[in-house]
Protein backbone atom coordinates (compact mmCIF):
# COMPACT_ATOMS: atom_id res chain seq x y z
CA UNK A 1 0.00 0.00 0.00
CA UNK A 2 1.45 3.35 -1.03
CA UNK A 3 1.17 6.23 1.43
CA UNK A 4 -0.95 9.21 0.45
CA UNK A 5 1.37 11.99 -0.87
CA UNK A 6 0.52 14.28 2.08
CA UNK A 7 1.20 11.66 4.75
CA UNK A 8 4.37 12.04 6.77
CA UNK A 9 5.96 9.11 8.55
CA UNK A 10 8.61 8.90 11.22
CA UNK A 11 10.60 5.88 12.36
CA UNK A 12 9.78 5.33 16.04
CA UNK A 13 10.08 2.66 18.68
CA UNK A 14 6.61 1.67 19.86
CA UNK A 15 4.96 -0.79 22.23
CA UNK A 16 3.12 -3.61 20.47
CA UNK A 17 0.29 -5.29 22.41
CA UNK A 18 -1.53 -8.43 21.32
CA UNK A 19 -4.17 -10.74 22.76
CA UNK A 20 -3.84 -14.32 21.55
CA UNK A 21 -5.87 -17.26 22.84
CA UNK A 22 -6.81 -15.39 26.02
CA UNK A 23 -3.23 -14.33 26.82
CA UNK A 24 -1.81 -10.85 26.48
CA UNK A 25 1.63 -10.12 25.07
CA UNK A 26 3.39 -6.76 25.22
CA UNK A 27 6.55 -6.20 23.21
CA UNK A 28 8.42 -2.97 23.82
CA UNK A 29 10.78 -0.99 21.57
CA UNK A 30 9.41 -2.30 18.28
CA UNK A 31 10.54 -0.30 15.22
CA UNK A 32 7.60 1.12 13.25
CA UNK A 33 6.78 3.75 10.67
CA UNK A 34 4.30 6.07 12.41
CA UNK A 35 2.02 8.53 10.59
CA UNK A 36 2.80 11.89 12.21
CA UNK A 37 -0.78 13.13 11.94
CA UNK A 38 -2.90 10.06 12.72
CA UNK A 39 -0.50 7.99 14.82
CA UNK A 40 -1.23 4.92 12.68
CA UNK A 41 1.63 2.45 12.84
CA UNK A 42 3.08 0.32 10.05
CA UNK A 43 5.47 -2.60 10.54
CA UNK A 44 7.76 -4.20 7.99
CA UNK A 45 7.34 -7.89 7.20
CA UNK A 46 10.65 -8.64 8.97
CA UNK A 47 9.39 -6.93 12.15
CA UNK A 48 6.06 -8.81 12.07
CA UNK A 49 7.92 -12.10 11.62
CA UNK A 50 10.20 -11.27 14.58
CA UNK A 51 7.17 -10.43 16.78
CA UNK A 52 5.62 -13.79 15.86
CA UNK A 53 8.89 -15.56 16.66
CA UNK A 54 9.15 -13.89 20.08
CA UNK A 55 5.60 -14.97 20.97
CA UNK A 56 6.00 -18.49 19.53
CA UNK A 57 9.26 -19.16 21.39
CA UNK A 58 7.81 -17.96 24.71
CA UNK A 59 11.16 -17.26 26.33
CA UNK A 60 11.70 -15.46 29.60
CA UNK A 61 10.16 -11.97 29.44
CA UNK A 62 12.23 -8.95 30.42
CA UNK A 63 9.53 -8.09 32.96
CA UNK A 64 5.93 -8.94 33.84
CA UNK A 65 3.11 -6.46 34.39
CA UNK A 66 -0.24 -6.82 36.15
CA UNK A 67 -3.21 -5.45 34.21
CA UNK A 68 -6.72 -4.75 35.54
CA UNK A 69 -9.61 -5.97 33.37
CA UNK A 70 -13.00 -4.21 33.34
CA UNK A 71 -16.33 -5.05 31.73
CA UNK A 72 -17.81 -2.41 29.45
CA UNK A 73 -21.33 -2.00 30.82
CA UNK A 74 -24.23 -0.03 29.43
Model confidence pLDDT, tens digit, residues 26-48: 999 999 999 999 999 999 999 99
Any residues with CB less than 8 A from the CB of 47 and at least 6 apart, and which? 30, 31, 32
Number of neighbours of residue 43 by Cβ within 10 angstroms: 16
pTM: 0.79
* pLDDT tens string 50-63: 999 999 999 999 99
CA end-to-end distance (rounded Å), the chain: 38
Separation CA 21–CA 9 (nearest Å): 32
Alpha helices in the chain (DSSP H): 45-57
Contact 30, 15 (CB under 8 A): yes
Amino acid sequence: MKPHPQERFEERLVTYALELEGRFFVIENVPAQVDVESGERFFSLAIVERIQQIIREGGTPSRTIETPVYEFGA
